[in-house]
Every structure is written in C-alpha cells, then in structure tokens.
Amino acid sequence: MPADFLHLALIQTSLYWENPDENLTSLSQKIDALPEQLQLIVLPEMFSSGFTMNPGVVAETMHGKSVVWMRETAIKKQVALVGSLVIEEDKQYFNRLIFAHPDGKLETYDKRHLFTLAGENKVYTSGEEHLIVEYNGWRICPLVCYDLRFPVWSRNTENYDLLIYVANWPKPRIDAWDGLLKARAIENMCYTTGVNRVGFDGNHHEYSGHSAVYDALGSVVVAPQIDEEKVVTAVLDKKSLQSIREKLKFLEDRDMFNLK
C-alpha cells in the first residue's frame, strides 16, 4: 500500500505464563491467519512471557529465540512487527520493545517508566532514550504500558504520526487505560493505538484487553476490544492526519521543555 496509508493489526491475546515457546507458537498461528496487505503488527508487552518479575526465567539476549522469531517473521511476512520482551544485557534486565522491519533491521526502546507498584523497578533497568521509527513514510513513537501515565515523556516534540503503546494493563484500572489512550491522541494530534493482553497471568491478575485506535481528534478508529482474544485491523490515513494538523495547528502552540 502507498505511504499515505498504514494498514496495521492489533493482536489482543492471552499469554502463556513464562513460556516463550508456547507464546511464539500461538502468535505465529495468529499472524499466519492475517491478510497479506498488512504493514504493521502490534503485540502486547512481554509477549513471550506475560508481565513477570522473574526475568531470569525467561530473559534472552538480542540473539535469542524470541528476537530471532520477530526478525524472521517480519522478513517472511514482509511486515513490521513490534512488541516488548525481557532482554538481558550487560548483567542487567530490560523490558525492551523491539521494532522489527521487513528487511530484518531491529530498532529498540527500553521502557522508561518502570511499574513500582509491582516492583518492576527492583529487577529491571530503566531506559533513557526515545525511539522514533521511520517506516513507510510514517514517523512512529513506540512506548510501553506504564509510560502511558506520563504525558511529558510521550509529548509530540518529534512530529511523529503514530503513537503505540504495548501493554499488560490490569482489569481493575482499565478505565484509566481507556481515558489516557484517548487523551494522548488528542494532546499529541496523532493516531494512537494501544494493545493490551487478556486472560489471567501467573499471579492471578486479570487483563481485559481494551486494545483500541484513536485518530488525532480522539475519535474512535477501532473501538476498545473487551475481554476476549481478538485480532483487529485498521487503515490509518496520513493525508487525513495532515489535514487535521494544518487546519487546527494546535501543535504549533505546544510548550517547549527539557526533560530531566
């Protein structure tokens, strides 16, 4: 498809607890069933394990099987693939988002805001750098779960077109997820999508999905998908986004700042 459009799929799925092999098999089956014209597939946070605080059980290097699977799937399907997993590097653990390009190139973002309520900050190392991906004429900012609560970190100072959140966001706080996703779209004048898992994890926490897509005005492109495993697709329109920005120009009035 031309660069004016971005055809993406959101994979809202349950996850096998701390079992990369089962998760990769399940995700492969879901991806194989998707239409061929897709350009981008978004997976949940820690798609190979669920949101675990036992990184030593599932961690891998950047040459590990889940990373290799992402690269090989992207190449085979000629589609970009994005999601996060547990990576070990320099004797540290990272909740690392990987953006795998169809040519095999990998770009990474380490989750900045670690979820202290679950003790994520005690076992993982925080990232310090944004990632802006240039893909098919689109500028994409991918972030991870708890980052959603921090609007300064996601502020659109880089003129990106699409904001992505991959998540394991629990059901008791799902109203916050819904409200914040829509707010990030409005304030950053960009398409915003969030992909959340469903089901129960090994700690008996329940997840209800609510994966969704909003446009630059906060209007629904894909309504929140509730409770069940579901794969949904959407086509994003670059010209429509540009038209909204040219007409309203809200980003021209944004505050400039240095984040410390």
Cα separation values, 78 from 71, 73, 83, 95, 107, Å: 10, 8, 16, 25, 16
Name which of 240, 251, 237, 244 is nearest 8 in CA terms: 237
Residue 259 included in any domain: no
The pLDDT, as a whole number, for residue 257 is 86
Residue 74 included in any domain: yes
Q: How many CB atoms lie within 10 A of CB 108?
A: 19
Residue 89 included in any domain: yes
Tokens of 118: 């679950």
User: Active site includes 111?
Assistant: yes
Alpha carbon distance 235, 148 (integer Å): 23
Alpha carbon distance 12, 27 (integer Å): 10
Q: Does residue 122 sit in helix, strand or coil?
A: helix
In the chain, the amino acid numbered 222 is V
Chain segment 148-170, per-residue pLDDT in tens: 999 999 999 999 999 999 999 99
Alpha carbon distance 100, 75 (integer Å): 9
The pLDDT, as a whole number, for residue 260 is 80
Query: Into how many domains does the chain fold?
Result: 1
Chain segment 232-260, per-residue pLDDT in tens: 999 999 999 999 999 999 999 998 888 88
User: Active site includes 45?
Assistant: yes
Chain segment 186-207, per-residue pLDDT in tens: 999 999 999 999 999 999 999 9
- 207: burial class by Cβ within 10 Å (0-12, 13-18, 19+)? buried
Residue 27 included in any domain: yes
Predicted confidence (pLDDT) at residue 101 exceeds the cutoff of 90: yes
The pLDDT, as a whole number, for residue 2 is 56
Calculate mean pLDDT across residues 144-148: 98
Residue 260 included in any domain: no
As a whole-number percent, the residues of the chain with pLDDT over 70 amount to: 99
Report the mean per-residue pLDDT for the chain: 97
> Could you say which of 107, 120, 141, 145 is catalytic?
145
> Could you say which of 45, 107, 141, 238 is catalytic?
45
Alpha carbon distance 9, 231 (integer Å): 7
User: Measured on CA atoms in the order 237, 139, 154, 58, is the torsion positive or negative?
Assistant: positive
More confident residue, 231 or 259: 231
Chain segment 25-76, per-residue pLDDT in tens: 999 999 999 998 999 999 999 999 999 999 999 999 999 999 999 999 999 9
Residue 171 binned pLDDT confidence (cut-offs 50, 70, 90): very high
Chain segment 68-97, per-residue pLDDT in tens: 999 999 999 999 999 999 999 999 999 999
In the chain, the amino acid numbered 209 is G
Predicted confidence (pLDDT) at residue 137 exceeds the cutoff of 90: yes
More confident residue, 79 or 1: 79
Residue identified by tokens 């997820």 is: 177
Q: Which residues of 177-204 are buried (b: 16+ CB within 10 A; e: fewer)?
A: beebbbebbbbbbbbbbbbbbbbebeee
User: Worst-scoring range by mean pLDDT, 95-104, 106-115, 220-229, 249-258?
Assistant: 249-258
Q: Indicate which CATH number applies to the domain containing 53.
A: 3.60.110.10
DSSP for 98-110, written as a single string: EEE-TTS-EEEEE
> Could you say which of 18, 107, 111, 238 is catalytic?
111
Residue 258 included in any domain: no
Q: How many residues does the chain have?
A: 260
Torsions phi, psi of 197, nearest 5? -80, 175
Domain that holds residue 90: 5-253
